[in-house]
Structure 1
Amino acid sequence: MTQALNHSGLTPAPGLEGLVVAETMLSEVDGQKGDLILRGERIEDLAGKTPFEDAVAHLWADLVPRSQGDLRASFAKARELAVAAIPAMANAPRELDIFERLRLGICALPLDLELTSGERICGAMPVILAAAARLENGDQPIAPDPTLSSAEDLLHMLTGNEPERSAVEALDRYLVTILDHGLNASTFTARVIASTGADMKDAVAGAMGALKGPLHGGAPGPVLDMIDAIGEPGNAASWIEQELSAGRRLMGFGHRVYRTRDPRADVLKEGLALLPQDNPKLQLAEAIEQAALAALAKAKPDRKLETNVEFYTAVLLDAIGIDRALFTPLFAVGRTPGWCAHMVEQQRTGKLIRPASRYAGPMPG
């Protein structure tokens, strides 16, 4: 006989702050030290040094099923298969945005028994993103090239041109940087859906819904809006002071978890040094960062507000020619392998996620 539970004495934790709801071997986020560890490796030892496919293989090791040892080959085949999903995206209502077409493309992916679900979904993401972006602009999608890496083919399919090597390396660095990051909102959503026994496509689609929210995946775009508004390095200090005096938040600074500098920001800033330096936005971004950190230290001396990943995400992606409308969809491309790993890990526990709530409504008379 099941005993009824009384939750009236439980203390709510808004946002589940401070509650441990899962045990994971995938990533450790240490906000006090400023560390991000993926399967035993610090992010700065992976991003910029390990290709995206190899970093995914490292994260998936002995956890996510794979059809063969070479993940680059599996992802290349998945890109070729993903072309079959493009008609569903092209025939969708015109009012759908890029992110919604991306999610539709995931749901329309064909089944292929030679690839595992994780390979099929994660490998397809560059094709679906590039097709969604080109359809949005009224252009025909470009067929994938299976001889290229995921990052190189994505840039090729967006423009039809052969991308610069520095741009490919920068995008590869970015995709590795965002591969996994603890139980953020979209990853937790994926684990909740996976815990019901739903399949991987359902869980990825749900995680994308969480990512679309402006408090989660929408921050890098407004960083560029801030950079554009400031315009010149000499305007940075006064513009930032006005924003803080008005009580507005500076985009790209501060983090829910990190109480020191976000290590991913440093990894991406290092990547900027490898790009052509004739871009005036690079110097402008550095001036803005210095002015912002000085102003925040003065205005909020009791809080440690440092540069977060969104700031240099915006600067790096803009520098390699990625339109800001693609920032959140591109985040999904890099984060999907992490979602898939969490889904498999969650289903191995065999436990349905079902937290308690405390009733605060009226009682019957």
Structure 2
Amino acid sequence: MEHKGLKGIVAAETRISHIDGENGHLIYRGYDAKEIAGNYTFEEVAYLLWYGHMPNKEELLWLKEELRKNRVLSEEMKTIITLLPSSMDLMSVLRTAISAESGYGEYHFPPTISQAIKLTAIIPTIIAFRKRTLEGVADVSPRSDLSHVENYLYMLTGEVPQFAHAQALETYLILTLEHGMNASTFSARVTASTESDIVSAVTSAIGTMKGPLHGGAPSGVIELLDEISLANNAEKVIREKLDRGEKLMGFGHRVYKTHDPRAIALKAKLKELGGQDDWLDLAMNVENIAITLLEEFKSGRSLYTNVEFYAAAIMKALNLNPELFTPTFTASRIIGWTAHVLEQADGNTIYRPESNYIGEIH
């Protein structure tokens, strides 16, 4: 069947982002993502994706205040989260809690940026509240004097994060805010195209992100870094893996045929922070050795680090458990999802693709 999985089919026109996989470029509203990741904050880039332009001073202050005042969970929402089975994975908790949010606000079609801000603000709080509840420790109330990313880390641990950790995570989150018509974004746009509300669209996206083929945790990269750290010999570990024909996790990308621009931007940020965290320094050293060996073993394949490699290093440096990776990814991608929902609603046409029947006719 041609175009299986809709691969190669243009499903929408968008002004939000552009991916040039051949040349390794990711564009947000006309800006090179790897350039803005090192020069703007999470809040500024979120504003760009929602509104189509960078905020001025007053606009940025407004957005920060809107995010701050929407961070607090209602007691009803806390009760819902607490009553969910302890065995329920965190992505399912997020999906359920966000779905329940539709009962606590005026969510109707067409969607608004204010609704997008509210959903963006509460996702980190939901993650942190659930994590600490399962650990049997008191939840940490959000702080209005911290940025969006700093506050997320603070609510997870109860401690104001180190500068290097907050900077590394913020850069990663900026670089994963948006990435074209991926599976979860498509799910959100399809739901919005029925004139359903933004909560339903985001719930659809979270359910899609939950799948291991889309938002899976970089456990393979973490295992690689752990093994190298234990052996204290990156070249030996990597060479042995390549000798056995094993895939080197965190290298290569199905879209980018050259350097992943997000990995380049993350590496640049980690170089700025060099010497402030052993795991981040280890990751940069491993990358240099691995790329040299990959060229030796698989010459001409152009296998470079992808964003997952440095995401794993950052998660390891932050001491975040693997089950927090996809929810943290979700706390970022909510910006792209809602930007697409808003765009879909503007000049909406319902999605109604056709299927090719291959069964029998009796």
TM-score by length of 2: 0.89
1:111 matched to 2:104? The reply is yes
> Residue 36 of structure 1 aligns to a residue in which SS?
strand
Tell me the distance in 2 between the aligned counterparts of 1:228 and 1:246: 19
Q: 1:279 to 1:77 in 2, by over 3 A?
A: closer
Residue of structure 2 aligned with 1:98, choices 83, 90, 93: 90
Deviation at 1:28, TM superposition (A): 0.5
Match of 1:149 in 2: 147
Unaligned runs of 5+ in 2: 107-111
Q: 1:115 to 1:286 in 2, by over 3 A?
A: closer
1:85 matched to 2:77? The reply is yes
- Larger displacement relative to structure 2 (282-291 or 324-333): 282-291
Deviation at 1:122, TM superposition (A): 0.8
| Identical residues among aligned pairs (%) | 39
Aligned 1:31-180 pairs, distance under 5 A: 31-61=21-51, 69=59, 70-81=62-73, 84-109=76-101, 111-112=104-105, 116-180=114-178
Match of 2:197 in 1: 199
Higher helix content, 1 or 2: 2
Letter in 1 for 2:138: Q
Match of 1:14 in 2: 4
Aligned 1:273-284 pairs, distance under 5 A: 273-275=271-273, 277=275, 279-284=277-282
Deviation at 1:274, TM superposition (A): 3.8
Tell me the distance in 1 between the aligned counterparts of 2:93 and 2:261: 32
Aligned 1:146-295 pairs, distance under 5 A: 146-231=144-229, 235-275=233-273, 277=275, 279-295=277-293
Q: Is the 8 A contact 2:35 2:265 kept in 1?
A: no
- Larger displacement relative to structure 2 (154-163 or 331-340): 154-163
Q: Is the 8 A contact 1:219 1:252 kept in 2?
A: no
Q: Is the 8 A contact 1:82 1:127 kept in 2?
A: no
Letter in 2 for 1:253: F
Q: 1:300 to 1:319 in 2, by over 3 A?
A: same
Q: Is the 8 A contact 1:166 1:274 kept in 2?
A: no
Tell me the distance in 1 between the aligned counterparts of 2:178 and 2:79: 31
Q: 1:83 to 1:268 in 2, by over 3 A?
A: farther
Q: Is the 8 A contact 2:164 2:277 kept in 1?
A: no
Q: 1:149 to 1:351 in 2, by over 3 A?
A: same
Deviation at 1:229, TM superposition (A): 2.3
Deviation at 1:62, TM superposition (A): 5.6
> Residue 231 of structure 1 aligns to a residue in which SS?
helix
- Larger displacement relative to structure 2 (255-264 or 171-180): 171-180
Alignment deviations for residues 305-325 of structure 1 (CA, whole Å, 9 cap, x no partner): 211100011112322333332
Deviation at 1:163, TM superposition (A): 1.9
Alignment deviations for residues 234-255 of structure 1 (CA, whole Å, 9 cap, x no partner): 6434433444455543221111
Letter in 1 for 2:180: G
1:26 matched to 2:16? The reply is yes
Match of 2:109 in 1: none
Tell me the distance in 2 between the aligned counterparts of 1:266 and 1:115: 31
> Residue 360 of structure 2 aligns to a residue in which SS?
coil
Tell me the distance in 1 between the aligned counterparts of 2:165 and 2:347: 40
Tell me the distance in 1 between the aligned counterparts of 2:186 and 2:262: 20
TM-score by length of 1: 0.88
Tell me the distance in 1 between the aligned counterparts of 2:72 and 2:123: 11
Tell me the distance in 2 between the aligned counterparts of 1:177 and 1:81: 27
Tell me the distance in 2 between the aligned counterparts of 1:243 and 1:209: 34
Tell me the distance in 1 between the aligned counterparts of 2:151 and 2:74: 13
| RMSD over equivalenced CA pairs, Å | 2.4
Match of 1:5 in 2: none
Unaligned runs of 5+ in 1: 1-10
Tell me the distance in 2 between the aligned counterparts of 1:311 and 1:341: 27
Letter in 2 for 1:154: Y
> Residue 71 of structure 2 aligns to a residue in which SS?
helix
Tell me the distance in 1 between the aligned counterparts of 2:358 and 2:236: 47
Tell me the distance in 1 between the aligned counterparts of 2:277 and 2:219: 18
Deviation at 1:84, TM superposition (A): 4.6
Aligned residue-pair number:
350
> Residue 284 of structure 1 aligns to a residue in which SS?
helix
